[in-house]
Every structure is written in C-alpha cells, then in structure tokens.
Structure 1
Amino acid sequence: MNLKHKIRARDLGLPLAGKPGKWNAITDVAGVEVGYTTVMQGASDLVVGEGPICTGVTAILPRGRQETPRPIWAGQFDLNGNGELTGSHWIKDAGYFVSPICITNTHSVGIAHHATTAWMIDQHKEYFQSSHTWALPVIAETYDGLLNDICGQHITSEHVLSALNTATTGMLDEGNVGGGTGMQSYEFKGGTGTSSRLITIENKEYTVAALVQSNFGLRPEFTVCGVPVGQHITDNAILSETTGHETGSIIVILATDIPMLPTQLQRLAKRGAIGITRTGSYGGHFSGDIMLAFSTGNNIDMPPLGAEQPLSFNLECINDAHMDVIYEAAVQAVEESVLNAMVAAKSVATVKPANRVLEAINHQALCDVMKKYNRL
C-alpha cells in the first residue's frame, strides 16, 4: 500500500463539519484493517482479454485477524439496487456476517467470492473442517468499464488474496487504489475514499467512519458543501456527452465501535444515502447505491455448527435516544469520503470511448468556485 500523502479534501480548506479521527479513515475504528491490490497495465486501444487494465480489489477486515471468526453485527440498505452485495440476504435475516468485505469491479465478483472463501478456510482451518460450517463472504462491486477492460476479467484469486493478506490499520491511500482504481465520480476521476468522525456520548468517545468505492453521478449534479461546483466546471464531461447517463455505482461501508443492534445498524446504513446525496446525486436508475453498516461492538464467541451452543447471548446496545449524533457523524463521513476519493485521484485515459481522458478534478478550479460562494 502506498502511504505517500496525497492531497485530501480538508487540505484544500473545504468547510467540512465534524471532528475526524487520527487517520480520518475507517481504520480509526479499532480493529478494522484495509488492504488494496491495484492493477494498472497497458495504454493502447482496448483489446478484450488483453487490456488496458485499470482495476483492483479492496479488502476490509472488520475485526482484523481473529483466531476464531466472530459475528460482525450489521445492517444493509439500498438507495438504488442496480448492483451487487453478496451475503446481504443473511445480513437482512440474521443481522450479522462472518467474513471480510471485498470490493472490486462488476465482472470480478465471482472470483473475489471464490478467493475470499479460500482465504477464510485457510485462516480458520479447524473452524471449517471440524464441522459443517460454511463461508458467506461479503463481496461488493462497481463498474469500471470506462477505464478498464472489464470484460477481460483480469482480476485473479492472487489479486484478492494479496488485498486480504496485506490489510493493515493506520493511514490509507485513496483515489486510484484497490477496487476504486478504475472508477469515476461526477465525470471526474473517482475511486476509493475514506473518512471518520469522533463523537462523545455520555462522556465516552466513539468513532463512526466510512469507506466508499465512488463511481457515480453526472457533472451537473456535483455539489461540494452546498456549492453547485459541477455547474461551473463543465468541460470534459464524458458520460454526458456520450451515453447521456451515468454508468456507475457507489458502495458505502460504515463502521463504528458503538455497540448497536442490527436494526439500529440498518437505520445507520440508510444515513449513508444522505451522505451520498449531499454531493449532489439523486440516485440514478443505472447506479447501484448500496450501503452496509457494521459495528465492532459485542465481540462474542459464536461456536460453529455442530459444537455445543450457549442458550443465549448478552448484547449491549446504545439507547436510540442518542442516535442523532451517530447519524450526523455518518453523513459527514460519507460526504467527505466521496470528496477525498475525487481530490486524491489522478487522471486516466479512457477505453470506452477511446482516446479520451477521465480527468481528476482540478484543485485550483474547485477552490476558485468555492471562493465565489464565500465557502473557502
């Protein structure tokens, strides 16, 4: 993972609300680890099966590397369902999952699922081999065919395993990294972004954080801190000029150390959609705007099928009366994550249409527009 500091939204002086954590990243939630595999090869015309390749994999380990798999309490929400998040049926039914989260491109969900299953079995041999226990990995996707030979299916098991095996805590790279390598946002270069918020409830500090794979939106919608930036920076809006609609999606992963029940986490996941819409999107038909929220609280031991089972579990949960500050933090973190993905990104040549460049947002042009509205 390249930890060389890139410019982030706050570095530009954008008036973003809330107090970020140490890394201003999803890794500010204790125990959460993130790994990337970034694959960029070739710069010629598109030849399916050969390239150019501009894609990758992002891996999130919600509890890091635990000796025994334990449930990760979760809630899920779709603003618009034109996309994939495997494992979501069980999350909606049971309120938890027991796996990493991997995010990649649309045509690589299968290989990511296959490789993550193998990784889980390898990490926890006794857990899977001593009983009839099965793996249900959580794999999400967005479409990177604007910049990548997506139909060539270049992601391999080795790419997925590398992202999983290199997952770590601390500062995270953003922009053209991991699953976000080939993604666009509001017809600028998009990608992977993250952010966090520290909040205090009854004199106790907690963290709410987000990681997004940002690949959505058309230029006229783009809004930064209430300013209609996309209506001022109008050049090279490739999708508006060609397809007339967006060809992407956004995956939002929300993490917190606050002990929460699945129903509370589902409600938290919904607030991810508000964070998205603060950047201007209305959630288009061709976009998969998919949110998953999880809590690292209630770290209980759930024996595998066939082992002796406890009669019950004791779970702690936050009082719903304190949810407003949690919702606010989530919205702020998602909004900033999208902006971080865009501000950190670098321009990339397109493959479809050919001979164009998906440009990263110009920092000075962005700041000039913000100044016109007295927001900088």
Structure 2
Amino acid sequence: MSDSAGDPIVLDLAGRAVRITSPDKVFFPKREETKLDLVRYYEAVEEPLMATLGRRPLLLERFPDGARGKSFFQKRVPKGVPEWLQTTMVQTVNGTPSNALVGVDLAHIAWAVNMGCLGFHVWPLRVGDDGEVVVFDSATRSRIEQPDIDVEQWGGRQRRAVADELRLDLDPAKGVGFGELQRAALLLKDLLDELGIACFPKTSGKRGIHVYVRLEPRWDSYEVRAGAVALARELERRHPEQLTWSWWKEERGERVFVDYNQNAPHKTVFGAWGARPKVGAQVSAPFRWEELGDIVPDDLTISTVPPKVAAEGDPWAAMYDDPQSLEPLLALHDRDMAAGLMDAPWPPVYPKMPGEPPRVAPSRAKKE
C-alpha cells in the first residue's frame, strides 16, 4: 500500500545510498514544495553549501510536519543511523557532551532532511579527519592531536577548540526597516575594510543580515567574541544613531543591534544556504556586497537560488582562500580594557563570566 506522501526512494548522493521516506510530503505549503524538493535544492547548491558548512558540527532543528508544524532541536544524533554517518562530540553551554552530526557531505545533509530538518544551526568549529573537533595549544597556536575540549573558562585553559569564523548578526529593533539594515551593513563593512578585514554578507532568511569573516585557525571562541564586542562598541561610537551594541532591548531604541554574542562559545548560527522554516521556502542566502542595495530576502527561495548560483557562482568563493587575522579587533578589545571598560553582557544561559557587569536591566538597576 502506498504512502500518501509517496513511497520511499533511494538517492545516490556523494557516493552513498540515502533513503528518503515520504518524498512527496509538503514542507513549504505556499508553493507546495516537498521534502524531495528540499533535498534536490541542497543537491543543486552542493558546492557552495559544503564550502561553508563542510566538516562542521550541526545542530538540527526538526520540523516533522514541515514549515507550518511544530519543531524541536535535536542536539544528539539518535541510535540506528547508517554506519557511514559521522558524528563528533561537542559541548553545550552547560558543559554537557553532545554527539552532533558532522556536515561531511551531501549524503549527511539529505539524511537530516529526511528526518524533517529544514536548515542547519552551524558551529564555528571544524572536525578533523580523525573525527575530533580541531583544538590548539593557546601558547603555541599549534594543533593538539588528542584534544580536550573543556573550554568553559576564559582564562587558565591551554587547550581550546579553534573557532575559524566571526559571525555578526545585524538585528533590527522594532521600527527598523530593511533599508536601515542595509545601511548598517555598509557601515560595518566600511569599518572592517578600514581594519583590513574582508567580510561577506548573507540574508538571515528572516529580517536580518549576517556578516561573516573567515578567520585564520588561531583563536578560540572566547577571543573571537572579545573581538566582536570591540567591533560592536566601535561601530556605536562612530554611528550612535544607527547602530548599537546594547544587550538590553530597552536601551536600543530604533537602531540596529550588532549581536556580538553570536560568537559566544558553544553558540551556533543558522547556516548559509539553509532553508528557513517559512511557508515560502526562503533561504539564508549569501550575496555579493554589490547586490546589497537590491537584495529582497523574500525572493531568495529554494526555487530561485539554484539558477542564481548556476549563473553567478558562489558569492563567498573568495572567502575560503583568504582567511583573515583577528588581531585588529583584539587590539580594539585591548584598548577598551585598558580604558577601564568591562566585558559586555553574556546571554543568561551562560555562567557568570570574569569581568562581566551585573546581569540586570538598567531600568531595574536604577530602581534597586
């Protein structure tokens, strides 16, 4: 008897046989696009997709009933998976080990889509050929072959996971339109250009813009976050009417928030080329800076993005061959610390960090 969403099929992807159940199940009702359509989309953008998330741990957000249904995060790969499926051990914010899927190839992506995963929340870490998260000695900056990924403290640790991406989320406050967001992205680019750091934009797939910097594999997430904090503060100093680093929403006003905490250790960010859980099948799509003024995020879908990539190529291609130094941003961080500034607030799920100000909203602190 046939499944109402189609009988299972087996696809040959990356040299592996991947079973897709209910291939005709509608995931994106606005255009009646199915689970199989999503697999075929990822197949069409395989080269740029794997360039950005290949060999990275992935946090899965599953939507068993498609974009309109309920969802849940799956941190650990379940039992009974194909023997070829690669996983690695990472840590959650509270230090709990988690057996995460590794984005090895398109077969791993399709396996996750079959479980109802639409997009992927990607770690800023790489997994080596040995299946372990790449870590280094913080004194010598050289890789350690048998890693210890205990990275819960800012100071005192000698072995830390390498973070090779700086990720900046430009988050529009209430009342901020996409035009203001586009202008904020240019101000961010101008500052990074001044510092000699190449950066690359993508749509968030929702309301925001993400800007990425591929880093030399020499720093951990604590250092990358410190650089992001310094960058956000400098942007507000120069453009206080347009941009803010204020963690507390009551202080942001109608400005674009530069979310530095997307770089906190153990933090994942929605990955490039991933399909968002929206009925129109919108994609978090990389683009060229020259396109910024004309980009319409809602027009970038699993149907429209593949022909764009086929015609124009990967807009992030130059990023992978030219990793950047974090040193200019760490110099800004050192300047701020020397001037007496404290660390910026961390998200509430993190333990209290050294040098962090009190975790209380400014209005409440005044009352107290």
Shared fold, TM over 0.5: no
Report which of the two has the higher share of strand: 1
- Return the index of the structure with the highest Cα Rg: 2
